[in-house]
A = this chain, B = another copy of it.
Amino acid sequence: MSKVGIIGIGHGVFGRRSDATVQELAFEVFRTAMEDAGIERKDLDASVIGSVPEYHKQRSLPGVIQEYLGLVPKPAWLTEVACASGSAAIRTAWMAIKAGVHDIVAVIGCQKMTELETPEILALMGRVGEVQWESIFGTTFPGYYAMFAHRHMHEFGTTHEQLLHVAIKNHFYGAKNKYAFFQKEITMEKAKDSDTVASPLQIFDCCVNADGAACVILANEKKAKEICKKPVIWLEGMGCATSSMSVLKRPNLFGIPSAQKAAADAYEMAGVKPTDIKVAEVHDCFTIAEIMAYEDLGFCKKGEGGKFIEDRQTYIGGKIPVNVDGGLKAKGHPIGTTGVSMTVEISKQLREEAGERQVPDADIGLTHNVGGIGQYTFVQILRRD
């Protein structure tokens, strides 16, 4: 079966992008990725859009984007699995190429989160969780992750300071990333001094909604080798799994079952172990989520994630640098885009194009993209040619 590689990448500025429509955001990153790949529109076979449709005024996004990008009449479709929609888009493009249906596919994660009126956005965010049995009782995103945090603290003695160390690290690297929403370092004092959102989570434990887009161009082995002037980044492990949406049906609240399964499947497909990973992008929608990710991915033992960040093991120079682009926390979280953004960052790292954020000797990288409250996780393992 043909291997699938990344031959072009593009990333836009995340933030409040009132300067651009969603198709303009898409065009920005598409142009960069096409120039990076050194190909023209005629070389492309199809586009896959990763996005969560309900946040946009524009219905039927792939149609509008395909037209705006000048790609009609080529096929286009959208994938949606909440905050993991971008990784699902990469996964279906990977399948299309492996199947021999298409040779070269553009994957565009694009999302505006600030377009609708605030009450509409809050209503959408408020419908998180299973509607019949959970959200009816008032569950929210921060509320779920606060439960995960409390359970982790209770079970393993994790401290809130350890959680905030995640935020400090991610803001430290966000300050060096010109595409990040927040390009400012923070101190423990400032983080601790912020308002509580859902105890124990404070403002600086939470990522921020953002507008933004990112693009990767995928190709089959033959085309990738023909076209690519830079090292091809191969998709070697592709894990995808689900957990029950209702947290009341999960075995525990201190880990994400779908992440553990998707990671195991991805490691097996790629034939690598957690210790082989040199750089990772994980889904830090809340600080506790990054700590659970360390454990679910096998970077440390279950329960030791708090100590792991306190010991700076996920900084560059530590055991496994994580989110050295700022993560969702500092970079911002345009929900449909995030998975594609992660893959762009790992591709940059593996190509040694990450500048002052470069992880030395990075030849194998990983992305970990969680949908919603963990009902989906997509794990990718990428390797430099």
Task: List the interface of chain A (C-beta within 8 A of B).
Answer: 1, 21, 52-54, 57-60, 62-64, 66-67, 71-82, 88, 91-92, 94-101, 124, 127-128, 130-132, 238, 240-246, 249, 257-258, 261, 371-372, 375-376
Contact partner, A245, options B64, B78, B94, Cβ 8 Å: B64
Task: Tell me the bound Cα distance from A74 to B376 in angstroms.
Answer: 10
Copies, count: 2
A10 CB, min distance to chain B CBs, angstroms: 21
Chain B residue nearest in CB terms to A374: B63
Tell me whether chain A's interface is mostly helix, strand or loop, or mixed.
Answer: mixed
19 chain-A/chain-B pairs, Cβ below 8 angstroms: A53-B80, A58-B127, A59-B127, A60-B128, A60-B245, A62-B375, A63-B376, A64-B245, A66-B242, A72-B242, A72-B244, A73-B241, A73-B257, A74-B241, A77-B91, A78-B79, A95-B95, A95-B96, A95-B101
Q: Which residues of B contact A21 (CB under 8 A)?
A: 132
Chain B residue nearest in CB terms to A102: B95
Q: A91-B77, A92-B77 are in contact. Are A371 and B60 (CB under 8 A)?
A: yes
Q: Which residues of B contact A63 (CB under 8 A)?
A: 81-82, 242, 245, 371-372, 375-376
Contact check, B88 vs A77: say whether CB atoms are below 8 A apart.
yes
For A74, A97, A244, which residue has the most chain B Cβ atoms within 10 angstroms? A244
**Sorted from nearest, which 6 A-B pairs have the closest CB atoms?**
A63-B375, A98-B99, A99-B99, A75-B240, A54-B54, A63-B245
Chain B residue nearest in CB terms to A2: B99
A75 CB, min distance to chain B CBs, angstroms: 4
Chain B residue nearest in CB terms to A238: B101
Contact check, A72 vs B243: say whether CB atoms are below 8 A apart.
yes
Contact partner, A376, options B57, B62, B371, Cβ 8 Å: B62
Contact check, A80 vs B78: say whether CB atoms are below 8 A apart.
yes
Task: Tell me the bound Cα distance from A79 to B59 in angstroms.
Answer: 14
A184 CB, min distance to chain B CBs, angstroms: 32
Q: Which residues of B contact A82 (CB under 8 A)?
A: 59-60, 63
